[in-house]
Homo-oligomer: A and B are copies of this chain.
Amino acid sequence: MEEVAIVGVGQSTFTRKCGVSVRELCFQAYKEAMEGLDITKDDIDASIVCSAPEYDKQRTPSGLISEYLELTPKPTFYVESVCSSSSTGLRVAWSLIKSGLHKVVAVIGFQKMSELTSREAAERMGRGGDIIWESPFGITMPAGYAMYARAHMAKYDTTEEQMAMVRVKNSSYGARNPKANYRKELSIDDVMNSDVITSPLKMFDCCANCDGSSSIIVARGDVAKRVSKIPIWVIGVGAATDTMTMSGRKSVTGLECSQEAARQAYEMAGVKPEDIDVAEVHDCFTISEILAYEDLGFAKPGEGARLIEEKQTYADGKIPVNVDGGLLSKGHPIGATGGSQIRTIVRQLRGEATEAQVKGAEIGLVHNVGGVGQYGNVTILRR
């Protein structure tokens, strides 16, 4: 069976207020993804549009975006797993190609959150939890991750300073990323002294809502070799869930959906954590990156904080993580985030990440989580 590769990646600038319509926002990422490829829109067999609904007024946006990108009458549909929607989109695109149904599929992720006030956005996000038993009682996104942070601190003596170190690292890379929303370098003191959001998480421990889009062009192996200079092969697509309810979780010191998705992806790709040259992990909060180190096998349980303390996840460390600034610096336009992470790894494996290139990177990993650990996606890519 033919293999599957990513041939194009694109991303809009992530910003608090993009000032354009959803269709134009998506075009910005799609345009970059198609640049330099030896294909036209007529070669695209299908598109998958990924976002979380209810943040902008347009319903069923896939049809609209498909029309705007002039892909009509090719099939299009919408895929959602909240914050991991575009990683789910890539996994579905992989299947559509591998099954023989299509040769080239465009995955478009987006979110336009600036149509809502912060209060409205927080209310929408809360309803991503169980609306009968949990979200009405305060289990919002920050509250959920704050519980994980407290549990990790209690069990493993992880400190708030160690969490702050994650933001310091990511802000240093975000400062060099022209598409990131937050480009200011932050110090430990900046993070520690920022306003408390949900203790122990402070403002700079949290990523922020924003507008943005991403695009991935996925192709069957033979086509990929023909149309792109350096196809990046999709060698592992793991996906898992955990309970929607926090009360149903077996553990609150790690995300089981990440652990299970990673297990599947490593097995499918035939690689181990130590084979990964560069990774993007879902740092929606600083604690989330520390959990990811452990859940993905970069550190043993309880030893994630030491990895950042020893600076092993900087670009010249043992396992470089989020050297594009992560969600913390880039911002988190829900449906676009996975595609942005994938773009970073593709650029790293192509050797194009001039802002912070990891030397000789050949195998990369993308870890993308939906909700408070409800959906886990791990994708492994190879040059």
Contact = CB atoms under 8 A, between A and B. Distances in A.
Interface of A: 1, 21, 46, 52-54, 57-60, 62-64, 66-67, 71-82, 88, 92, 94-101, 124, 127-128, 130-132, 237, 239-245, 248, 256-257, 260-261, 370-371, 374-375
Interface centre among A60, A80, A100, A244 (most CB of B within 10 A): A60
Given A60-B370, A241-B72, A79 B82 contact: no
B64 A60 contact: no
Contacts of A128: 59-60
A310 to B, nearest CB: 31
Contacts of A76: 81, 241, 375
Contact of A54 (B53, B63, B131, B370): B53
Contacts of A241: 63, 66-67, 71-76
A233 B374 CA distance: 33
A81 B62 contact: yes
Contacts of A54: 53-54, 59
A358 B127 CA distance: 45
Contacts of A71: 241
15 contacts: A53-B80, A57-B127, A58-B130, A58-B131, A63-B81, A63-B374, A67-B241, A72-B241, A72-B243, A74-B240, A77-B80, A77-B88, A92-B95, A98-B99, A99-B99
Contact of A240 (B64, B75, B239, B374): B75
B52 A59 contact: yes
Interface centre among A74, A78, A132 (most CB of B within 10 A): A78
B240 A63 contact: no
Given A64-B244, A66-B244, A92-B95, 18 more contacts: A53-B53, A58-B127, A60-B370, A60-B374, A62-B80, A63-B81, A63-B375, A64-B130, A67-B241, A75-B240, A77-B79, A77-B81, A77-B92, A79-B80, A92-B92, A94-B101, A95-B101, A98-B98
A63 B371 contact: yes
A347 B59 CA distance: 33
B245 A67 contact: yes
A8 B68 CA distance: 38
Nearest to A75: B239
